[in-house]
Each structure stands twice: as structure tokens, then as C-alpha cells.
Amino acid sequence: MIWTKSLETGVPKIDEQHKELFRQADNLVDKTQTGRVEATLNFLKGYVAKHFSDEEILHRVSGYPKADFHKKLHEEFSRALRDMFAKYQAAANKQPVVLTINSAVAAWLREHIMKHDKEFAVYYLAKQAGTKK
């Protein structure tokens, strides 16, 4: 997973957390050789929960009209991540599962950031600019 400037939302806290999510997803592939995949998956699950919580706080304080829908997307991904982790734990051959998880996380993050997070960022930044006048 490669972070590019095209994924930036313009909201520094969100962008930094997104970059960390990309780094951790990359660590999954790197860690297959060292046996630390499970620790990275656990970190990733926790970090995703923290990031989603932080983002949802911004939704609420800004009065984002699509906050409930956005939260539902977060809940669906969190559930999918838990399911992927369970598949990893149950797999006899873990490496293909790790590659699948990495690919699924990368695809979801890219799509979610480009569509939903950027849409929120436009709203949030406009709202912030309006309150600073």
C-alpha cells in the first residue's frame, strides 16, 4: 500500500492517521517473514477503532449531515476486519490470508478515503473556514 498525496483530505489529524493505517497494512506483508503478523493485526484493529472514533467525533462536532451513514461504513469495515482476523487465526497456511487481508484493507481504505473521507473533509474544512471569519 503506497500513500500518495491524492489520498490527502486536508485535515491533518485524519491524514496522519490514514498514513499510519497504510504503514501498518504494509507491515502485515513484511511481518509474514518474522512471525509478527498477529501483533500487527491486533495493532491494526485497535488503530482502526481509534481512527474511526476520532473521525466520528469530528463528524459530530461539525454537524456533518452524513455522520450516521459514515459511521455505518466504519462499523461494516470493523466487522470485516474482525472476520479477516478470525480467518487468519483459523488458517493452516497463513501467508495467503495475510496477502488477502492486505489487499482488502488497501482497497477499502483507498475507496473510503477517496469517496467518503474527502467528501467529509470538504464539508469540515468549509465549516472550519466559516467559523474563523
pLDDT per residue, tens digit, the chain (133 aa), is 678 899 999 999 999 999 998 888 887 777 555 567 888 888 888 999 999 999 999 999 999 999 999 999 999 999 999 999 999 999 998 888 888 888 888 899 999 999 999 999 999 999 988 875 4
- Domain 10-131, what architecture? Up-down Bundle (1.20)
Q: pLDDT at position 12, please?
A: 94
| Spatial contact of 88 and 97, defined as CB atoms under 8 Å apart | yes
How do the domains of the chain map onto residue ranges?
A: 10-131
What is the 8-class DSSP label of residue 92?
Answer: S
| Inter-axis angle of helices 37-62 and 94-112, nearest 10 | 20
What is the pTM (predicted TM-score) of this model? 0.86
Confidence (pLDDT) at 132: 56
Backbone dihedral region of 63: left (phi > 0), alpha (psi from -120 to 50 degrees) or beta?
A: left
Is the distance from CB of 98 to CB of 88 less than 8 angstroms? Answer: yes
Query: So what's the pLDDT on residue 23?
Result: 85
